[in-house]
Amino acid sequence: MVENIQRVAQEIEAAQLGSAAELEQFRIAYIGRKGAIAALFDDLKSVAPEQRRQVGQELNQLKNRAQARFDEAQEQLANAGTGSEAENAFDFTLPPIPNTLGTRHPLSLVRAEIVRIFERIGFNVADGPEIEDDWHNFTALNFPENHPAREMQDTFFLSEDRDKLLRTHTSNVQVRLMENNQPPLRSIMPGRVYRNEAISARAHMVFQQVEGLYVNKGVSFKDLKETLYYFAKEMFGQETKIRFRPSFFPFTEPSAEIDISCLICKGEGCNICKQSGWVEIGGAGMVDPNVLSNCGIDPEVYSGFAFGMGIERITMLRYQIRDLRLFTENDVRFLRQFKGVI
């Protein structure tokens, strides 16, 4: 052990610290948590008890010497960079670089278009918190206690009792809207949501979602279908094909998945549509009577429909973008393509 301490001490004294790179190498090799001195401290437990105190003192001296050499060299490098050469490195006679204006993000463009489309048919915009409690995110929406969405593989919980979490959908805004207002209600809820998913070309742990809710007397599934037909054709074009597939959601009954014909491959098959020619853009259905009751609305008097869609998925289809990760990489080469889009 003593021989190892002496060897490291010699290496520390002989180290060349004339540049920032050499200084960083020295820090990693000797001062860092995985450096040689830390390894010697780990080996201290193998020293005989009667020698451990003396060896420990030598290790502390070695550590202090290494830190002193590092601090001295760092100060010398800093002083060397404040001379006249460094002061004159920048040419102040150069003309200034003019300010450049940015462009609107494609997700912001599509979100604004979604809002405009639904505003034309009487929907307003509602908002709510991104940090939510269990009642508004799950229980009020008819999620049973053993539902997989409550588990850690899907939801980011913020407390041990799982009552605080990052919302997994903007349905929490629907619950708050129904709790605090009486029908008729007709709103969309765009916003950011969080799910513990693997990041890929088609999925991300943070994404934008827009949901819609209409509650009134006599609302039917036909009203839901006509609303979504109108939206899809306004967003993607009058030639867009739409289909509804039966599905299940705890908060709607009956429920359906919404697909449109893939605009990227024109139905021939690609990685976005999984070679099927169809792309799912969201889910929808009639609001479950239990959800209405949980929110203080009489299901014997009122009915309603709800739907939800991912804004990233809609943007990918609208602008034929093949990789969802581009939205969060801040690559200006990608973002500049939308400079002329309004």
The owner of tokens 């203080």 is 296
Could you please report the per-residue DSSP string of 45-96? GGS-HHHHHHHHHHHHHHHHHHHHHHHHHHHHHHHHTTSHHHHTSS-TTSPP
Neighbouring residues of 92: CB distance < 8 A, sequence distance ≥ 6: none
SS3 content of the chain, % helix, strand, coil (to 5): 45, 20, 35
Q: How far out from the chain centre does Cα 32 lie?
A: 32
Binding residues for Mg(2+): 253
* Binding residue numbers: 253
Contacts 24+ apart (CB under 8 A), 140-149: 140/175, 140/291, 140/294, 140/295, 141/171, 141/175, 141/250, 141/251, 141/291, 141/294, 142/250, 142/251, 142/288, 142/290, 142/291, 142/294, 143/250, 143/251, 144/250, 147/250
Q: Which residues contact 188 (CB under 8 A, 6 or more apart)?
A: 114, 115, 118, 123, 124, 125, 126, 210, 211, 212, 213
Tell me the C-alpha distance between 119 and 122, whole Å.
5
Contact 300, 178 (CB under 8 A): no
